[in-house]
Structure formats: structure tokens, C-alpha cells
Amino acid sequence: MKLDRPVTPITIDGSNKRFIHFILDAINSGILILDNEERIIFSNSKATSLLASEGTLVGRKFNELFPPADRKILGPNLIKIAKAQGEFDGDVMLRGSDKNDFVARLAIASWKEEGNYTHVVSISDLSRLKEIEKLLRGSERMIYLGQMLDDISHQIRNPVLAIGGFARRLLKAKKNEPEYVKVILEEAGRLERLLDVLTQFIRLPRPRFSLQKVENVFDLMDDLARDLCKKMNIKVEISALHPSDKVVATDLTLLRKAIEPVLINACEACKEMEDQRKGFVSVGFEQPEKSSKALRITVSDSGIGIRPPFMQRIFYPFFTTKTGHVGMGLTFTKRITEELEADIHVESALGKGTKVTVELPGDRRKKIRTRPL
């Protein structure tokens, strides 16, 4: 908007300084002003309530507002960006007044005059927004569990009807009927296996992410593949891992639970071949160059493959083509890979085998948090 007359600058003196402070206090965001040494020289009441565990923020250094892990690199980097570009705007973790960390929207505007910088910092607490996002994710899980409930009732109904029916026949029978007892025991065992698997699925813990060297993941998968294939008498080929300084953000315990059903399925597919001697499982490791993922794990087999109509259903709860199986193995795999923020892809050709690819994320911290600018 073009003004018809020049704007008269406001002189900050004792009379209007209090009014400006009043305006800044009325803003529903934390406002800080930093001097050339990145020291806080002003804090409105919202910023104080968000960040000051005791006393005042005035006099503290800007980088002291961050969790200890980010004070050395992230805080100074943000100021450097603001100096170079005039501003910074992004989400960061800050240490709150209750000494717990919270997600905040941080905006920094830098002003240079006579060689000295003044920085104005705006802070918005995103905790409530993140709680809503968490509730939405929880709602999605509840919908998923609700859909599972229909499948569970169907899975339980059949053995319960069989048990009830044969039990009534036993009551009416005038002599022992061992075949009835056998059916009852088989169906009861099926129910026990189903309930055991469902309990494991419901109680599956949340991931506890940690940064792991690629070699640690390789060692885990190498041991798991060799042990399972040896037990199932299937040949296994494991590709070598090239040296790397990359790290993977994952939970090794849950990762093992995710890959185990994939390896078992691969071995069973080989066993279903007419000539089992030609069956083998191969486990490969790649480090994608042009990808946000740090490690790609592939499990391939030379087995019978998956029929095309079944491909879209392989992750469905209780879907199985094998007698005596509950059909939850790949359901576990799918859920865990999603929790680990990993990608999973399945390719299969009937009579030629199946290939499952799992891609694991690397260090999810941005470079701005890990490398000085």
C-alpha cells in the first residue's frame, strides 16, 4: 500500500515504552528481544510463563532455551540463518518452564544497525496441536481395531460352534466318541492360539527409537536369517555389507519381530516347491543414495510365489492360505514397519518367488541440529 505522506517514526522513551510493553504482553505468543550477544533483554509474560522455570528470562542466553542436546549447535545455527537471511521460521523443541520439552513454532527476525544485531523472537506453543494430531492417530487405530473386531468374531465363531456342537453330541452319546473329543481339543487349541496372537498384537509396545549403526542392523538380520533357515532346512544367501558411516533410526527388538514373519514365509514358500533342493532364501542390504531412507533390506525367495488375487490381502488380519495358521504374521510386519516409519513393498511372480523390501529411516534430525553452519 502506497502512503501519501511519510510515516513519522515512534521514539521509544519512558512515556510510550510502557505502552509498547503492554502491547507485547497482550500478544498470545511468547516474544523475546535479543541483543548483539544473543542475550535476552526483553521477555513478555507469555514467553516467561512458557520458558522460565524460575525468575526471569532477561539476562539468559538464547541457546539456553533449548534442550541440552541442541544448545551447542541448533541455537547458534538459527541465529546465523536469521542474520544471513533476515529471518528464520520453523518448528523446534524448546525446554519449558516445567523442565519438559515441547514443540514450538519459532520465528526470528534480525535487524542490523551500525554493525550490531537485534533479534526479535516469536514463540508459539504447538503442544495442543500435537496432542490433537496424536488423538487423530489414536482414532485411526481404533477404527482399524474396530474393523479387526468383525474378523475376530468370525474367527472365534466357527470353533466355538464346533466345540458346542460336539460337546452336545457327547452328552447324548451312550458310548465314548473319541473323534468328538479330538475335534473339541483341536478347536480349543485353535482358539488358544488365536487369543495368544491377538494378545501379542494388542500389547505390542511402542517403538523406542535409537540411532543404530548400519552394521548393528546387519548383524541382527544375519543372525536371524541364518537361525531360521537352519531350523527350516532352507539354504540362505546373505549379501555383504559395504562399510558406511550411516546410522538407522529404529527399534532393533521390534525390527526383528517385523522381519521374522517375512523370513518364515520365504522358507515355507520354498518348502512348497516340488523340488525343495532348489529352494533358497536371500537377504540383501543396500544403502540408497537418492532417498530419505538409510537402509534397504530385501528378503527374496525362489518359492512358489503369491497368486495375483491374494496380493492385495497379504497384510489383512487372519488372511492365510495355509492350514493351521492364524494369518497374523504379515499383519504384525505391516503394523511394526508403520510404527518404525519404514516403508515395505512386496513383489511376487507365481512360480518364480517373492521379494519383500523394507526401507528404514536414517537420522531424522535435520542437519541444522547436527552440524554447525
- pLDDT tens across 172-216, in order? 776 677 787 777 777 777 787 787 887 788 788 888 888 899 999
pLDDT of residue 357: 96
- The pLDDT mean for the chain works out to 83
pLDDT of residue 146: 60
Query: What is the spatial distance between Cα 117 and Cα 81, in angstroms, rounded to a whole number?
Result: 13
pLDDT of residue 262: 96
Topology of domain 126-203, CATH: Helix Hairpins (1.10.287)
pTM over 0.75: no
Inform me whether the pLDDT recorded for 147 exceeds 50.
yes
pLDDT of residue 1: 39
Cell 507469555 identifies what position?
46
Q: What is the DSSP string of 46-88?
A: HHHHHH-SSS-STT-BGGGGS-HHHHTTHHHHHHHHHHHHSEE
Query: What is the spatial distance between Cα 56 and Cα 64, in angstroms, rounded to a whole number?
Result: 13
Residue that wins the pLDDT comparison between 306 and 19: 306
Boundaries of CATH 1.10.287 in the chain?
A: 126-203
pLDDT of residue 278: 78
pLDDT tens string 255-303: 999 999 999 999 999 998 877 777 899 999 998 877 778 899 999 999 9
pLDDT of residue 17: 63
Query: What is the spatial distance between Cα 12 and Cα 36, in angstroms, rounded to a whole number?
Result: 19
pLDDT tens string 214-256: 999 999 999 999 999 999 999 999 998 877 778 899 999 999 9
Strands (E), 139-264: 210-213, 235-238, 247-250
Q: Which residues contact 248 (CB under 8 A, 6 or more apart)?
A: 211, 212, 213, 214, 216, 217, 294, 295, 360, 361, 362
Boundaries of CATH 3.30.565.10 in the chain?
A: 207-373
pLDDT tens string 59-93: 999 999 999 988 899 989 999 999 999 899 988 88
pLDDT of residue 10: 43
Given the candidates 3.40.190.170, 3.40.190.10, 3.30.450.20, 3.40.50.620, the CATH classification of the domain at 14-125 is 3.30.450.20
Contact indicator for 318, 326 with CB cutoff of 8 Å: yes
Say what percent of the chain tops pLDDT 90.
38
Which of these ranges, 24-28, 32-36, 114-118, has the smallest mean pLDDT?
24-28
∠131-132-136 over CA atoms, to 5°?
A: 115
pLDDT tens string 100-112: 888 889 999 998 8
pLDDT of residue 156: 74
pLDDT of residue 91: 86
pLDDT of residue 8: 46
Boundaries of CATH 3.30.450.20 in the chain?
A: 14-125
Inform me whether the pLDDT recorded for 143 exceeds 80.
no
Topology of domain 207-373, CATH: Heat Shock Protein 90 (3.30.565)
